[in-house]
Amino acid sequence: MGRDQGPFNLANPWSRIGWWSTAALVGVSFALGFVVLARFQVDGPTLDVWSAICRAIGITADLGPAGEPQPPLRTPTRIAWTSDTLAQVASGNEHSGAMVALNCGACHGEGGVSPSAFIPTLAGMDAAVIYKQLDDFRSGKRLWGVMGAMATALSMQDSADLAAYFAGRADGLPPVAGEGLPRSGRSLRQSDPTIRLIFAGDPGRGVPPCAACHGPGAHKLGAPALQGQHAAYIERQLAAFAQGMRQNDINKQMRTIATQLTTDEMHALAAYYGAQDADVAPRNIAISNPWTRATPKGATVGGAYLTITNKGIEADRLIGGSSSVGKFELHQMSAPNGVTTMRPLRGGLEINPGQTVMLEPGLFHFMLLGLKRSLVEGDHVHATLEFAKAGDIDVDFAVEAIGALTPGAAD
């Protein structure tokens, strides 16, 4: 009864209209969705009708490629840090490795301390790092003609012995050691972009801090510590990763990071690590034209002047100084409202990377307080300047004439 009176009663013209409308809507939708719109691709060629229909329903129109030979799967390294691999590395014998290392001295230097800026120092390098790189050369995962031939001639045990020998050398790279709590200035607030990149990374580009794997302060198994390594070698390897010439990094970590770095950043990172000596900041402070004035007999104060240049990539701070003739105190002269005043410079004097600061009469200078003797023209005053990062630097101040305004012939 209901069928005779409902939408299934085709004798009713409204039922026929409804069914025909539904069929037309389905047909138009199919044509638009599976034929017309599916043919167009973003940045690709327009598909034919059959390919468009197959693509719309999620199947491929061409089954040919599935049966064709596929290129072999390429892995960046054969090394996996399993317990067996670590046991093999730990089995290395230094005495046996010393015999094998006789073949390495021509390039890597005696005892693994490389004289060339483009060849890495191996002395002090972690054994697991050396073992992995030798296997990468042997398998062709890392390409370098001479090293490929050398590594091919070594057995797995030879590699472990060689790694143990170089890792045990104490006259090369500094030992890897944790630093405990982070030092101040090693955060995203650091103004120096190189220091910020090393210790905090760049979250905006997805770049992790270099120190998380390569030190200082942290270490990742298989990642080489970079402190004290040749800067030119580090820079060359960063460029090789960025250009895809070196591909033996597990999970493409280094290739991903290096492609995000500019050439200037690569150079600065290499310079920082290459300048490191153990965990002591490099002395990139250059002192020139240190001089002072002769003082009248009985005078207890004097002035000392010099030029300081920061050749490094990290800011440093001149804190003070000391001398056997009297106390060194850093002062600043100024003339607010036309009245000249002089006061001690609290907190020291900051010298930014690449900056040259002159301590001269009328501005920044050292005051010599409590002089124990008169300063005589032609004499020299030995002093020790204290810097926050460069540490203590010995300086000889040439004594010029009373009232001199320039260092004259002082060097």
Whats the size of the chain, residue-wise? 411
Average pLDDT for residues 182-205, to the nearest whole number? 77
Domains of the chain: residue spans and CATH: 2-63 (no CATH), 83-167 (1.10.760.10), 193-275 (1.10.760.10), 285-400 (2.60.40.1890)
Write the pLDDT tens digit of every residue in 361-379. 888 889 999 999 999 998 9
Write the pLDDT tens digit of every residue in 277-335. 433 334 578 888 999 999 998 899 999 999 998 877 678 899 888 888 888 899 988 77
The two tokens of residue 247 are 């591909």
Lowest mean pLDDT among 45-49, 114-118, 127-131, 259-263: 45-49
Write the pLDDT tens digit of every residue in 6-22. 666 667 777 777 778 88
**Residues contacting 195, CB < 8 A, separation 6+:** 185, 186, 272, 313, 314
pLDDT bracket for residue 219 (50, 70, 90): confident
The two tokens of residue 217 are 């302060």
Average pLDDT for residues 99-105, to the nearest whole number? 93
Parallel, antiparallel or unpaired: strands 349-351 and 316-323: antiparallel
Q: Provide the whole-model pTM.
A: 0.56
Lowest mean pLDDT among 39-43, 167-171, 221-225, 307-311: 39-43
Q: What gap in Å lies between CA 175 and CA 131, rounded to an integer?
A: 17
Q: Is the pLDDT of residue 5 over 60?
A: no
C-beta separation of 287 from 387 below 8 A: no
Give kind and range of the element (H or E) at residue 302.
strand 301-310
Q: For the chain, give the percent of residues with pLDDT over 90.
A: 41
